[in-house]
Amino acid sequence: MTIIFQTDKLTKSFYGITAVNEVSIEVKKGEISGLIGQNGAGKSTLMNLIGGVVHPDEGQMRFHDSAYAPRNPSDAYNAGIAFIHQELNLFTNLSIAENIFVDNFPTRGFGPFQFIDRKKLNDNVRDILQQVGLDIDPKTTVEEISPGERQLVEIAKALYLDAELIIFDEPTTSLTARETGRLFEIMKQLRDEGKAIIFISHILKDVIALADTVAVMRDGVLMAQEAVENFDINRMINLMVGRQLEQLYPPKTTQPTEIPLLTVKDISAKGIVKDINFMLHRGEVLGLFGLMGSGRTELARIIYGLDDYDRGNIVIGEKHSRKHSARDSIKNGVAFVTENRREEGLLMSINIADNIALVRLPRFTNTPLQIVDGKRLSGAAQRAASVLQLKSGDINTQTAKALSGGNQQKVVIAKWLLSEPRVFLMDEPTRGIDVGAKYEIYAIIDQLAASGSGVLVISSELEELIGICDRILVMNQGEIVGEFLPDEFSEDLILRAAFREHEQVGAPA
Amino acid sequence: MKQLYENRYYNFVINNATAILFVIIFAFFALTARNFFSTDNVLSIIKNASFVGMLAVGMTFVLLTAGIDLSVGSNMYLSAVVAGLLMRAFEIPVGMGLLIAVGVGALYGAFNAFCVVKLKIIPFMVTLATLVMGRGIGTFLTESEQVDFPERVNAFGQLRFIEIPMPVIVFLLILIAAVIILRFTPLGRQIYAVGNDPEAAKKAGINTDLVISSVYIISGICAGLAGFILASQVMRVDRSFGEQYEFDAIAAAVLAGTSLFGGRGSAIGAVFGAILLQMVETGLVFRNVNLYLQPMVKAVVIFIAVFVDSLRTANLARLRRRFIRSDEDET
Contact A297/B at CB under 8 A = no
Q: Which residues from chain B sit within 8 angstroms of residue A272, using beta carbons?
A: 323-325
Residue B244: C-alpha distances to residues A358, B55, B304, B305 (Å): 39, 12, 20, 19
Contact A173/B at CB under 8 A = yes
d(CA B110, CA B154): 30
Contact A255/B at CB under 8 A = no
Contact assignment for B324 to A147 by CB distance below 8 Å: no
Residue of A nearest to B264 (CA): A93
Any residues with CB less than 8 A from the CB of B183 and at least 6 apart, and which? none
Q: Which residues from chain B sit within 8 angstroms of residue A177, using beta carbons?
A: 326, 329
- Which of B207, B246, B308 lies closest to B63, judged by CA? B246
Positions of chain A with pLDDT under 70 = 1, 15-17, 39-40, 86-87, 173-174, 242-248, 319-323, 339-345, 362, 366-370, 402, 404, 432-436, 501-509
- Paired sense of beta strands A213-218 and A32-37, if any: parallel
Contact assignment for B190 to A102 by CB distance below 8 Å: yes
Radius of gyration of chain B (CA): 21
Contact A298/B at CB under 8 A = yes
**Cα A212 to chain center, whole Å?**
27
**A37 in helix, strand or coil?**
strand
Work out the minimum CA distance from B207 to partner chain A, whole angstroms: 8
Q: Which of A92, A110, A146, A297 to mutate to test the interface with B (most CBs of B within 10 A)?
A: A92
Contact A119/B at CB under 8 A = no
Q: Which residues from chain A sit within 8 angstroms of residue B316, using beta carbons?
A: 143
Q: Which residues from chain B sit within 8 angstroms of residue A73, using beta carbons?
A: 203
This model of the complex carries an ipTM of 0.78
Contact assignment for B326 to A74 by CB distance below 8 Å: no
Q: How many domains does chain B have?
A: 1
Q: Which of B2, B11, B189 to mutate to test the interface with A (most CBs of A within 10 A)?
A: B189
Q: Which residues pair with A473 in a beta bridge?
A: A288, A483
Contact assignment for B1 to A310 by CB distance below 8 Å: yes
Contact assignment for A271 to B319 by CB distance below 8 Å: no
Q: What is the DSSP track for A49-115?
A: HHTTSS--SEEEEEETTEE---SSHHHHHHHTEEEE-SS----TTSBHHHHHTTTS--EEEETTEEE
Work out the minimum CA distance from A45 to partner chain B, whole angstroms: 18
User: What's the pLDDT score for residue A505?
Assistant: 41
CATH 3.40.50.300 domain extents, chain A: 3-241, 259-333+421-509
Residue of B nearest to A274 (CA): B325
Instruction: Indicate the residue of B189, B263, B322 with minimum beta-carbon distance to A174.
Output: B322
Q: Which residues from chain A sit within 8 angstroms of residue B324, using beta carbons?
A: 173-174, 271-273, 293-295, 298, 477-478
A window 457-486, beta carbon within 8 A of B: 477-479
SS3 letters across A136-200:
CCCCCEHHHCCHHHHHHHHHHHHHHCCCCEEEEECCCCCCCHHHHHHHHHHHHHHHHCCCEEEEE
d(CA B187, CA B200): 16
Q: Which of A89, A95, A102 to mutate to test the interface with B (most CBs of B within 10 A)?
A: A102
Contact B325/A at CB under 8 A = yes
> Taking the CB of residue A137, how many other CB atoms lie within 10 A of it?
12
Any residues with CB less than 8 A from the CB of A410 and at least 6 apart, and which? A385, A388, A389, A390, A440, A441, A444
In a domain, B322, yes or no: no
User: What's the pLDDT score for residue A456?
Assistant: 94
d(CA B284, CA B291): 8
Radius of gyration of chain A (CA): 25
DSSP 8-state assignment for residue A343: I
Any residues with CB less than 8 A from the CB of B243 and at least 6 apart, and which? B73, B77, B135
- Condensed to tens digits (0 to 9), the pLDDT of residues A34-49 reads 998 876 678 888 988 9
Work out the minimum CA distance from B250 to partner chain A, whole angstroms: 21
Task: Give φ, ψ of A12 to 5 degrees.
Answer: -150, 125
A window 276-295, beta carbon within 8 A of B: 293-295
d(CA A469, CA A288): 9
pTM: 0.70
In a domain, B324, yes or no: no
Contact assignment for B200 to A147 by CB distance below 8 Å: no
d(CA A122, CA A126): 6
Instruction: Indicate the residue of A92, A94, A176 with minimum beta-carbon distance to B326.
Output: A176
Contact assignment for B189 to A102 by CB distance below 8 Å: yes
In a domain, B331, yes or no: no
In a domain, B321, yes or no: no
- The dihedral through the CA atoms of A348, A350, A355, A358 has a sign that is negative
Residue of B nearest to A176 (CA): B326
Instruction: Indicate the residue of B206, B320, B321 with minimum beta-carbon distance to A92.
Output: B320
Residue of A nearest to B207 (CA): A103
- Which of A433, A45, A365, A16 lies closest to A217, judged by CA? A45
Interface contacts A/B by beta carbons within 8 Å: 97
DSSP 8-state assignment for residue B160: E
Work out the minimum CA distance from B323 to partner chain A, whole angstroms: 5
Contact assignment for A116 to B185 by CB distance below 8 Å: yes
Q: Which residues from chain B sit within 8 angstroms of residue A103, using beta carbons?
A: 190, 204-206
Per the prediction, chain A carries an average pLDDT of: 83
Q: Give me the tens of pLDDT residue by residue for chain B, a chain 331 residues long.
A: 445 556 777 777 777 777 888 888 888 888 887 777 888 888 888 989 999 999 999 999 999 999 999 999 999 999 999 999 999 888 888 889 999 999 999 999 999 999 999 998 999 999 999 999 999 999 999 888 888 888 888 888 888 888 888 999 999 999 999 999 998 899 999 999 999 888 888 877 788 899 999 999 999 999 999 999 999 998 889 888 988 899 889 988 888 778 888 888 888 888 888 998 899 888 888 888 888 888 888 888 878 877 877 777 777 666 655 565 655 443 3
Residue A499: C-alpha distances to residues A451, A477, B58, B108 (Å): 35, 10, 53, 59
- Paired sense of beta strands A3-14 and A26-28, if any: antiparallel
d(CA A401, CA A346): 9
Any residues with CB less than 8 A from the CB of A503 and at least 6 apart, and which? none
Enclosing H/E stretch for A420: none
Contact B331/A at CB under 8 A = no
Domain extent at residue B18: 6-315
Q: Which residues from chain A sit within 8 angstroms of residue B204, using beta carbons?
A: 89, 102-103
Q: Which residues from chain A sit within 8 angstroms of residue B180, using beta carbons?
A: 115
Work out the minimum CA distance from A244 to partner chain B, whole angstroms: 32
User: What's the pLDDT score for residue A385?
Assistant: 81
Contact assignment for B324 to A478 by CB distance below 8 Å: yes
Work out the minimum CA distance from B90 to partner chain A, whole angstroms: 33
Helices then strands, counting H and E runs in chain B, come out as 14, 4
Any residues with CB less than 8 A from the CB of B261 and at least 6 apart, and which? B66, B313
- Which of A98, A53, A58, A105 lies closest to A75, judged by CA? A53
Q: What is the CATH number of domain A3-241?
A: 3.40.50.300
- Paired sense of beta strands A285-290 and A454-459, if any: parallel
Q: What is the CATH number of domain A259-333+421-509?
A: 3.40.50.300
User: What's the pLDDT score for residue A106?
Assistant: 86
d(CA B37, CA B318): 42
B window 158-187, beta carbon within 8 A of A: 180, 184-186
Work out the minimum CA distance from A74 to partner chain B, whole angstroms: 6
d(CA A150, CA A163): 18
- Condensed to tens digits (0 to 9), the pLDDT of residues A288-347 reads 998 777 888 889 988 988 888 888 888 887 766 666 788 888 888 888 887 666 666 677
CB A494 within 8 A of CB A506: no
User: What's the pLDDT score for residue B167?
Assistant: 92
b (16+ CB within 10 A) / e for A266-276: ebbbbbbbbeb
b (16+ CB within 10 A) / e for A184-214: bebbeebbeeebbbbbbbbbbebbbebbbbb
Contact assignment for B197 to A91 by CB distance below 8 Å: yes
Instruction: Indicate the residue of A89, A92, A98 with minimum beta-carbon distance to B189.
Output: A98
Residue B329: C-alpha distances to residues A177, A178, A267, B99, B326 (Å): 8, 9, 19, 61, 6
**Residue B235's CATH number:** 1.10.3470
Q: Which residues from chain A sit within 8 angstroms of residue B318, using beta carbons?
A: none
**Hey, what amino acid is at A422?**
R
Instruction: Indicate the residue of A103, A114, A293 with minimum beta-carbon distance to B324.
Output: A293
B window 182-241, beta carbon within 8 A of A: 184-186, 189-190, 192-193, 195-197, 200-201, 203-206
Contact A116/B at CB under 8 A = yes
